[in-house]
Amino acid sequence: MNHINFNGPINSLSFGNVSINMLRELHKKDIKVSLFPIGNNLDFGTFDKLDEDFKSWVIDSGSTRFSTLKKSSPSLRMWHLNGSEAQIGPRQFLYTFYELDNPTFAEKNICDNQERCIFSSSHSKGCFDRVGCDNTEYIPIGFDPDFHETGKTYLENRIHFGLMGKFEKRKHTARIIQLWANKYGNNNDYQLSCCITNPFLKPEQMNNLIGQTLQGQRFSNINFLPFLKTNSDVNEFLNAIDIDLSGLSGAEGWNLPAFNSSCLGKWSVVLNATSHKDWATSQNSILVDPDGQTEAYDGAFFQKGQEFNQGNINTFSDEKFEDAVDSAIKKCSNKNTEGVKLKEKFTYKKTITQLLELMSQ
């Protein structure tokens, strides 16, 4: 195979990061790409370490897309199920992330209408297999090579916790902060840095959510960072922390912050559910077994009765949170060497190799 049609976002969000890494591997393999960027926009602002030759190739792949588009070539779409009823070319392979556990008829039908529907986690694949889809695959994503260990010393004489990922009920953002504040608030032997801006919310909405979470209190050892604009900024954040709490999300399609933290030798407290089970083990993470489930609906991103995003998220008890962070503190003085091995186990080279093999069948 020497040509594919590619449809995906190039932006600062997680889907944009995945698209860039997939395209980078296609470029390395000298695959010609007709690039149809979702939103018809190429936003490279986040990717401050991109090779200029690759960046030029991406721009050219987009500007020549109509003249190079081929009906005979497979199309790879990197996007949500919602919206993927649209197709470029007759053989579309959808790569997508699904977090919940109850596929709707609309989601199932869109999945059925793909040549193959490839999920980032075995949990997601299993959810669609259970409702009768027979065209699903599981192919994991990899470690972003733009991230690396800096070797710097950041906060000395403090244990530094980090929480990254947009503020959502699904991710247990408010509850994690509240539990941490109850345990360590104003104890300056510990620090919590939160990078939780939700770009789909207005600044005043974010401020209100933070105020509600902390019940109007101020803590000397909890800080809230603005949206990190570049991958270099994200890399500094991941290197600065000792313990990641992003893995306590109740439902994920992969969970890049927790995964990337582990790859950089940090210890992540991880809920043993959904996509986490594909990469997090008792050797490379502090695993927390869920206590049950609750509905995902938050009135904003997950609304009950809609055609998309219906189902449940996993929960954990206060006691398990406390036990897990205690365990993480005992471990964090030592590098997570098993976590570092994830960089070799999960790579975008492997992701693209498997996708190309699938599309060649």
pLDDT by residue (tens digit) across 300-357? 899 999 999 999 999 999 999 999 999 999 999 999 999 999 999 999 999 999 999 9
**68 burial level (CB within 10 Å; 0-12, 13-18, 19+):** middle
Q: How do residues 177-225 score in pLDDT, each as one tens digit? A: 999 999 999 999 999 999 999 988 899 999 999 999 999 899 999 999 9
Q: What Å distances lie between residue 191 and 121, 287, 325, CA to CA? A: 32, 21, 13
The SS3 assignment for 17 reads helix
Q: What Å distances lie between residue 76 and 10, 230, 248, 359, CA to CA? A: 14, 26, 31, 9
Whether 159-345 and 3-142+347-359 are alike in CATH topology: the answer is yes
pLDDT of residue 67: 98
For 3-142+347-359, CATH gives: 3.40.50.2000
For 159-345, CATH gives: 3.40.50.2000
| Domain spans, the chain | 3-142+347-359, 159-345
Can you tell me which residue has the tokens 């964090």? 332
Identify the segments of the chain with pLDDT beneath 50.
none
pLDDT of residue 268: 98
Backbone angles phi, psi at 16, to 5 degrees: -65, -40
